[in-house]
Amino acid sequence: MYRKIVAFMFTISALAIGYLIFSIVSDAKVIQEIRQKEAIENKVYQPQPIPEVTNKESTTFHSIPSEEQFQKMLHEISHQKVSAADKQGHFHLPISDKVVDQLTYILDNKKNFEHHDTYRKIVADMKWEVDKNWVDYHNSLNEWLGYPDDNATGIMTDSEQNAYINEFVNDNSYGTKEETTNKKFKGNFTNAESQVLSIGDTVQFEEMKVKLRTVSYVNGNEFTRPQHDDFVTLLVTIKNTSNKVINIHPVAQMDLFDSESYKQPHTYMLKGNDSLHQVLKPEQKIYGKVIFDAHDSEFYQFVMEDVIHRTQAVWHIPNDEIYPK
């Protein structure tokens, strides 16, 4: 009887020790898996250089210009508005929300331009479609650039402006304010093959940390319908990791491309799409949405650019990872 009790106690002890060892090993494995998962989730990627491309849009907007270069851009843009005997240069894009936002982004990062206040007025008139001041703007730019006497003599009529754009403006990839964009516009997007980012990944740019948190399809309502197929909403976190104030301009810095590399237009028809348009103080973080009026696609590519430091990050978004409506 005593031997049976001893054997029983030994068996129980062995089982207990075995269970304890199993628990320790299992716990260690779970902890290791958790740490591996946290390491993946907390991994911070580095951006890639913006690819060198040859079309005019990229040479204009993928770097911060000098003041003289900026003046030349505005001068060429003014030719879409004024009558002049000899128009030197033709800007390749029609005035649009995208152009306005790109110019605003440049001015936010070049506040030491000598004629900064005048440039702000010019861009504001572009945004609000005010034509009456363009003669003065054009002639001031002529003077600053040292151009010959080809001063503007008046404002072109709407039909003359449209005729000028049709003849001299050779890239309508952003569309004019009057277009409804029921067609696709080919973008100049080039993916960085060395790095494929996914939803949930974080990228550390020179002055900010950016995370693509979620992507979802969003319904419109009886008053707001997508002009293409779907509203695609991206929830993004941005943190200012520099020691200075930075400006975030979604339209100037963020683009969405479909599987055929067509650029999808931003939409302002839904509430919250301007929530990322912010000025961030050092260490300040924001959560916000950027919304696109997108064509159906097998997958999308979300591109975030740091124009000042000429880097970009590209997130690959498979259709089956987008939250349904």
Full pLDDT tens readout for the chain, 325 residues: 656 665 656 566 666 666 556 555 555 554 455 445 544 556 888 888 776 544 444 334 556 778 888 898 899 899 999 998 878 777 767 888 778 888 888 888 888 999 999 999 999 999 889 999 999 999 999 999 888 767 889 999 999 998 888 887 754 443 333 333 333 444 444 444 446 799 999 999 999 999 999 999 987 776 778 888 889 999 999 999 999 988 888 877 898 999 888 888 888 667 666 678 888 999 999 999 999 989 999 999 999 988 778 888 999 999 999 988 6
Amino acid at site 307: V
Strand partners, 323: 216
> Do 59 and 129 meet the contact criterion of CB atoms below 8 Å apart?
no
Strand partners, 317: 300
pLDDT attached to residue 12: 66
Q: How far is CA 147 from CA 96, 141, 151, 156, in A?
A: 26, 9, 9, 21
Spell out the SS3 assignment of the chain.
CHHHHHHHHHHHHHHHHHHHHHHHHHHHHHHHHHHHHHHHHHCEECCEECCCCCCHHHHHHCCCCCHHHHHHHHHHHHCCCEEECCCCCCCCCCCCHHHHHHHHHHHHHCCCCCCHHHHHHHHHHHHCCCCCCHHHHHHHHHHHHCCCCCCEEEECCHHHHHHHHHHHCCCCCCCCCCCCCCCCEECCCCCCCCCCECCCCEEECCCEEEEEEEEEEECCCCCCCCCCCEEEEEEEEEEECCCCCEECCHHHHEEEECCCCEEECECCCCCCCCCCCCEECCCCEEEEEEEEEECCCCEEEEEEEECCCCEEEEEEEEHHHCECC
CA-closest candidate to residue 167, choices 92, 253, 74: 92
Q: Determine the Cα–Cα distance for residues 156 and 83; give it in Å rounded to an integer.
A: 6
Q: Does pTM surpass 0.85?
A: no
